[in-house]
Structure 1
Amino acid sequence: MKIASWNVNSIKARLHHVKDWLESEKPDVLLMQELKGLDFPADEFEALGYKSHAVPQKAYNGVAIVSRHEFKVINEALPGNDNDEQARYIEVDINGTRIIGIYAPNGNPVATEKF
């Protein structure tokens, strides 16, 4: 299984690049970080043969998975922090394989909103 990860730094701004890359490289799974928006273009990925699931957040953060395989979402929050509202984690199961996508903060102090 070919699995890739990409910090897209705004799916809206990079959608064309992501689609081109998916068409040329044809990974089984792509995990994306820093979606930076609430509207995830699932239909664009479906047209390329990918199922998707996003954990979006307005303005910053946000993670997603697109996969050529059916998957089951296991978790959308960092383990041990069920009240996490930062949209930084997605965990799925694909045919018995657990795949985790995570966006780690950029080093802002813990007390800041963006941590």
Structure 2
Amino acid sequence: MNISSFFDVNKKPLLTPGSVNEIATYNINGINGRLEILLRWLNEAQPDIVCLQELKAESKNFPEKAIRDAGYQAIWYGQKSWNGVAMLSKTEIREMRNDLPGENNEYTHSRYIEGCINGIVIGCIYLPNGNPWPGPKFDYKLRWFKRKPAECFAKVYIMMDRIWIRV
């Protein structure tokens, strides 16, 4: 990854105080069941970007209007009953991908979404738990990590010294 891609033509950081102040992550554990809590928190905390995990809702049931009415744009990748990830932003957001690199029909869970906000690519990931060990869930987790999610993490972690994160 070329670090110069994170700078504008004047070599000023794209993520500076005032451009993105807070990126929050929240395991919502059922977005529709906790929508009122999420909306109240968004109103009080006013984070610039929010990464949500464990939506537990199919994409068609994502509460897009309520999120938009709260002042956020959203991208999401849902799944019935389990998993699901979303990214909310006060500014324009463009979906880049909704899966890790590589293809494998075994990895159909909605666990990763990547968006571009203010010229910065940010990934939201919901890692497999893998419990109990030993067992098929742990084996799945090991196979899942072979898809190289670390390559996706580098996009965000390279800028950690310029992002304020509040959980």
TM-score, structure 1 normalization: 0.90
Note the C-alpha offset of 1:68. 0.5
Note the C-alpha offset of 1:110. 2.4
- In the other structure, the counterpart of 2:25 is 5
Note the C-alpha offset of 1:80. 2.5
Return the alpha-carbon distance in structure 1 between the equivalents of residues 108 and 38 of structure 2: 26
* Structure with greater helix percent: 2
Deviates more, 1:82-91 or 1:40-49: 82-91
- In the other structure, the counterpart of 1:55 is 77
Q: Runs of at least 4 residues of structure 1 off by over 6 A?
A: none
Query: Which structure has the greater CA radius of gyration?
Result: 2
Matched, 1:19 2:36: no
1:95 maps to a residue whose letter is N
Return the alpha-carbon distance in structure 2 between the equivalents of residues 8 and 28 of structure 1: 17
Note the C-alpha offset of 1:82. 6.5
| Pairing of 1:42-81 with structure 2 (within 5 A) | 42-81=64-103
**Identity score, percent:** 39
5+ long unaligned stretches in structure 2: 1-19, 131-136, 145-167
Matched, 1:86 2:109: yes
Relative to structure 1, the CA distance from residue 79 to residue 20 in structure 2 (aligned partners, 3 Å threshold; closer, same or farther) is: same
Note the C-alpha offset of 1:12. 1.5
* Structure with greater strand percent: 1
5+ long unaligned stretches in structure 1: none
- In the other structure, the counterpart of 1:104 is 127
Note the C-alpha offset of 1:14. 1.0
Note the C-alpha offset of 1:96. 1.5
